[in-house]
Amino acid sequence: MRTIALSLALAALPLLVAPVVMADHHTPTLTPQDSGTLNRLQAVSAVNPRVVWVSGLGGTYAVTTDGGKTWRAGVVPGAETLQFRDVEGVNARVAYLMAAGSGTDSRIYKTEDGGTTWSPQFMNEEPDAFYDCFAFWNQKRGITFSDAVNGRFPVIRTTDGETWQDIGDSLPPAQVGEAGFAASGTCVAVQGGKRAWIGTGGAALARIFATLDGGDTWAAYNTPIVQGTPTSGVITVDFRDPFHGILGGGEILAPTEFADTVARTSDGGVTWELTNWPPFPGSIYGLSYVRGLGTTTVVVTGPSGTAWTPDEGDTWESFPGLADYWAVDFASPQAGWLVGTEGRILKISF
């Protein structure tokens, strides 16, 4: 969504009642790391505890192969003005980058040599399209979501890791203004070999689109989080199995308000219930299950704060003072990463 690129320097709004917060759980360890860039980082892909890819503004990417002890940052040649709002790492050598922007600024690149060279795979030619995020079932099969154009979502899919085809006719018709949010590269989530979920906003209803067959067919389901304006709705979504998932979002123009910003499902996204409020105001830009630490521990983050929950939102623990992080991803309980403004990166270990 185009509005996510606007400045968040907004007038302060009154706070509502504070959320439920737990206080008897051990706080994870946070370790700052040097990403090698000062550009804002907006996406992170933790392949395993040693290999992690991140991406951001100014055509920037960075990769570590030693768990973040050292990072190698670079800029894709010819992409210096692009905003890489999403990244998908396959291994230490293979990764994909997705640039979000209007018209030809929406692109996909791939490296097969650890970032030494990048090959363009897709360049959007539709002036009104704006690609927000992508996700991959495996190194060759993935899906990329765009804001609606004339009531249709020009979603593209690859089945060979090289070429991309439009499958927009398979998705439900768009509401007026319906779009995704290019905040953290997580408005699309995949699970298993064929399941995927897309979160939307910017319209009367904030919805989840779900597929069971790799994108051949889709169904639309309503969500209960803050919605109904051009700058509100679902921003981020994750699933831990075919049925249990969690989403975050809210109103990006209300960074000081507590509100209904997180919801969860136990039926594959058909129905959603609100969780308790996280312990920081504003919208949720990124969230991730902590892979391997039980099945219900989740970390959520956004410009106004960062928090975690051991029980999918019944209770929460805050990270005091930890703001301006946009995305989070985990390879294991001891190997998670937060990325944000000014090239900041934190390793999280439970």
pLDDT digits (tens, 9 = 90+) for 48-57: 999 999 999 9
User: Distance between CA 347 and CA 32 in Å, rounded?
Assistant: 6
Q: What is 17-73 written as a DSSP string? A: PPPP---SSPPPEEEEEE-S--SPEEEEEE-SSS-EEEEESTTEEEEESSTTSS-EE
Tokens of 172: 């439900």
pLDDT digits (tens, 9 = 90+) for 194-234: 999 999 999 999 999 999 999 999 999 999 999 999 999 99
Q: What is the CB-side half-sphere exposure of residue 296 using CA atoms within 13 A? A: 12
Check which CATH number belongs to the domain holding 139 and give it: 2.130.10.10
Q: Specify the amino acid at residue 177.
A: G
Does the structure show a pLDDT above 90 at 2? no
Does the structure show a pLDDT above 60 at 4? no
Tokens of 336: 């998670």
Q: Specify the amino acid at residue 242.
A: P
95 falls within a domain: yes
Q: What is 258-288 written as a DSSP string? A: ----EEEESSTTSS-EE-PPPSS-S---EEE
165 band by pLDDT with thresholds 50, 70 and 90: very high
240 falls within a domain: yes
- pTM reported for the whole predicted model: 0.92
pLDDT more than 70, % of the chain: 93
7 falls within a domain: no
Whole-angstrom CA distances from 97 to 2, 44, 110, 262 are 18, 11, 6, 27
Q: In terms of pLDDT, which residue wins out, 25 or 125?
A: 125
User: Distance between CA 274 and CA 56 in Å, rounded?
Assistant: 31
Q: What is 321-334 written as a DSSP string? A: T--SEEEEEEEETT
5 falls within a domain: no
Q: Which residues contact 338 (CB under 8 A, 6 or more apart)?
A: 44, 299, 301, 306, 322, 325, 327, 328, 345, 346, 348
59 falls within a domain: yes
Q: What is 221-260 written as a DSSP string? A: EE--SS-SSTTEEEEEEEESSSS-EEEEEEETT-TT----
Average pLDDT of the chain, as a whole number? 93
The range of the structural domain enclosing residue 124 comes to 27-349
Judge contact between 218 and 208, C-beta under 8 A: no
266 falls within a domain: yes
Average pLDDT over residues 190-195: 96
Average pLDDT over residues 306-330: 96
Does the structure show a pLDDT above 70 at 268? yes
16 falls within a domain: no
Does the structure show a pLDDT above 90 at 171? yes
25 band by pLDDT with thresholds 50, 70 and 90: low
Range of lowest pLDDT (6-20, 243-257, 301-315): 6-20
Distance of CA 63 to the CA centre of its chain: 18
Tokens of 264: 């969860």
Average pLDDT over residues 162-175: 98
Which residue matches tokens 């779900």?
Answer: 210
In this predicted structure, what is the pLDDT of residue 27?
A: 79
User: Distance between CA 280 and CA 124 in Å, rounded?
Assistant: 37
103 falls within a domain: yes
Does the structure show a pLDDT above 60 at 10? no
Domain count of the fold of the chain? 1
Other CB atoms closer than 10 Å to residue 150's CB: what's the count? Answer: 8
Tokens of 18: 């504070």
